[in-house]
């Protein structure tokens, strides 16, 4: 049985592994997608730096704490169009990406005593940031392909309250509990919450006065329908009889629809939740979290260049997903299971119950130069032992097909070679 430290060591080793092989690990945009950003940035920068109507000094000031007004208006317009749902500029604030947005939300709206309830499996770096960097207690809650189970969340909240005598659910300036979720095209599973789950989770949040932090990072990378699935925030309606002023924040980013290096994102939410963040000393001292890039992005939004780019990204990633899933459908061993996701960057594959994906990874890495993220690295309870996250975003179609073929060959030889070995099979309780 592995412990948390061993999994941590494995993860660090995996992240540093550099070879010429094929890696299904990076959940980042492909190099071709990033190359396309350079021309867009040159054009947008040229426009704003040489615009005679712009007071150039305004580009280099701290910037409004909530984020540049014109940028927020252009972003609201873009998101309204993309989501097919009304987004108001007053409900947006600028961040330096989703990671920084999450950090700001937790430090301003919660405190160190606030437990954060997380999915299992979850985005492996966020859960570690919450637990290790912020020293906040994380509590895993059971979920399935349709999302975190509201009844399990309710049970976990009550059990936490029972253990901590002086916890009160009364409204106060800081939330007594928060939930971290990736409801649309999840990292790591690619699954999306159903409407019913979203509605029930919002009801639980209102009943217990807790904050739901939804990372809406992959929403715009959708492949099947005309619009992406609705974000959790759109279920927290001000017109509902039990509306409390807002219990949900949507944490978005340009990392997946443009480039991670620009460190630009947004938080969307009602004034009750957003104001404390942009009126904090953090923003008072630092101003807008990324003013200059917001001005550049504003140009890309208003010119329609980002919309065109996002449409191209969707078409490109759709081909990558098809290369992966069509090959899986054709060649995968009969004991592998997976669901073809409707968007995002990831496919979650499950091997037979008693097989250790970590042992299989080591075998595939050493002998076939192909890697993936073992499920155990995404699980706060060290579960998902027989699962693997395959990211298709950073590999072109040829690499995806040849990488998968290698992986399947590795699997056949791995299962053959270890029939007699006990350490690769374990009981999952």
Ligand X SMILES: Cc1ncc(COP(=O)(O)O)c(C=O)c1O
Is there binding between residue 189 and ligand X (CB under 6 A)?
no
Instruction: Among 66, 74, 89, 99, indicate the residue that binds ligand X (CB under 6 A).
Output: 99
Instruction: Among 66, 255, 283, 386, indicate the residue that binds ligand X (CB under 6 A).
Output: 255
> Smallest gap, in angstroms, from Cβ of residue 97 to ligand X?
3
Chain positions 397 to 426 lying near ligand X, rule: CB under 6 A, are none
Pair 295, 67: CB distance under 8 Å: no
Is there binding between residue 253 and ligand X (CB under 6 A)?
yes
Instruction: Among 41, 106, 182, 248, indicate the residue that binds ligand X (CB under 6 A).
Output: 182
Is there binding between residue 127 and ligand X (CB under 6 A)?
no
Is there binding between residue 27 and ligand X (CB under 6 A)?
yes
Please choose, out of 33-41, 93-101, 239-247, 415-423, the segment that lies near ligand X by the rule CB under 6 A: 93-101
Please choose, out of 65-73, 253-261, 358-366, 373-381, the segment that lies near ligand X by the rule CB under 6 A: 253-261
CA 42, CA 333: separation in Å to the nearest integer? Answer: 47
Q: How far is CA 320 from CA 29, 152, 265, 344, 412, in A?
A: 12, 35, 25, 11, 24
Closest CA to 97 of 316, 253, 222: 253
CB atoms within 10 A of CB 12: 10
x/- letters, 347..386, toward ligand X (CB under 6 A): ----------------------------------------
Query: Which H or E element spans position 81?
Result: helix 69-83
Chain positions 306 to 325 lying near ligand X, rule: CB under 6 A, are none
DSSP 231: P
Instruction: Among 29, 30, 97, 183, indicate the residue that binds ligand X (CB under 6 A).
Output: 97
Any long-range contacts for 59-64 (C-beta under 8 Å, 24+ apart)? 59/291, 59/292, 59/295, 60/292, 61/287, 61/291, 62/286, 62/287, 62/288, 62/291, 63/94, 63/287, 63/288, 63/291, 63/292, 63/294, 64/287, 64/288, 64/291
Is there binding between residue 143 and ligand X (CB under 6 A)?
no
- Which residue, 182 or 408, has its beta carbon nearer to ligand X? 182
Any long-range contacts for 55-59 (C-beta under 8 Å, 24+ apart)? 59/291, 59/292, 59/295
DSSP 93: E
Instruction: Among 24, 117, 123, 338, indicate the residue that binds ligand X (CB under 6 A).
Output: 123
Query: Which H or E element spans position 348?
Result: strand 346-350
Instruction: Among 22, 41, 75, 98, indicate the residue that binds ligand X (CB under 6 A).
Output: 98
Instruction: Among 215, 236, 268, 359, indicate the residue that binds ligand X (CB under 6 A).
Output: 215
E strand map for 218-271: 248-253, 265-268
x/- letters, 260..279, toward ligand X (CB under 6 A): x----x--------------
End-to-end C-alpha distance for the chain, whole angstroms: 11
Size of the site for ligand X (CB under 6 A): 14
Q: Which residues bind ligand X (CB under 6 A)?
A: 27, 97-99, 123, 126, 182, 187, 215, 217, 253, 255, 260, 265
């Amino acid at each position: 049985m592995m412990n948390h430290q061993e999994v941590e060591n494995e993860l660090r080793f995996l992240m540093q592994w550099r070879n010429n092989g094929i890696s299904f690990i990076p959940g980042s945009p492909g190099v071709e997608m990033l190359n396309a950003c350079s021309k867009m940035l040159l054009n947008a920068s040229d426009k704003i730096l040489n615009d005679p109507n712009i007071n150039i000094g305004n580009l280099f000031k701290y910037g409004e704490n909530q984020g540049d007004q014109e940028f927020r208006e252009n972003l609201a317009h873009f998101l309204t169009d993309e989501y097919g749902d009304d987004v108001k500029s007053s409900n947006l604030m600028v961040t330096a990406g989703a990671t920084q947005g999450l950090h700001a939300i937790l430090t301003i709206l919660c405190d160190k005593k606030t437990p954060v309830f997380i999915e299992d499996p979850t985005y492996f770096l966020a859960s570690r940031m919450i637990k290790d960097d912020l020293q906040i207690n994380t509590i895993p809650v059971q979920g399935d392909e349709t999302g975190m189970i509201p009844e399990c969340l309710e049970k976990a909240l009550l059990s936490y309250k029972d253990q901590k005598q002086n916890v009160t659910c009364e409204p106060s300036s800081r939330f007594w509990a928060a939930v971290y979720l990736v409801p649309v095209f999840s990292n790591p599973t690619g699954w999306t919450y159903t409407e019913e789950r979203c509605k029930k989770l919002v009801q639980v949040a209102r009943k217990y006065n807790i904050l739901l932090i939804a990372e809406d990072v992959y929403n715009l990378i959708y492949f099947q329908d005309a619009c992406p699935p609705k974000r959790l925030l759109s279920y927290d309606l001000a017109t509902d009889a039990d509306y409390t002023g807002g219990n949900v924040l949507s944490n978005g980013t340009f990392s997946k629809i443009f480039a991670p290096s620009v460190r630009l994102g947004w938080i969307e939410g009602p004034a009750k939740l957003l104001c404390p963040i942009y009126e904090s000393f953090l923003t008072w001292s630092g101003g807008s979290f990324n003013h200059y890039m917001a001005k550049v992005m504003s140009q890309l939004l208003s010119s329609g260049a980002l919309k065109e780019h996002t449409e191209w990204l969707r078409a490109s990633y759709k081909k990558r997903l098809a290369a992966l899933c069509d090959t899986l459908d054709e060649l995968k061993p009969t004991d592998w299971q997976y669901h073809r996701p409707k968007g995002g960057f990831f496919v979650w594959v499950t091997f037979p119950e008693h097989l250790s994906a970590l042992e299989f990874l080591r075998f595939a890495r050493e002998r076939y130069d192909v890697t993936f993220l073992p499920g155990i690295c995404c699980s706060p309870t060290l579960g998902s032992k027989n699962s693997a996250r395959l990211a298709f975003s950073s590999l072109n179609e040829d690499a995806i097909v040849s990488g998968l073929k290698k992986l399947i060959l590795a699997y056949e030889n791995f299962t053959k070679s270890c029939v007699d070995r006990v350490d690769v099979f374990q009981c999952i309780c």
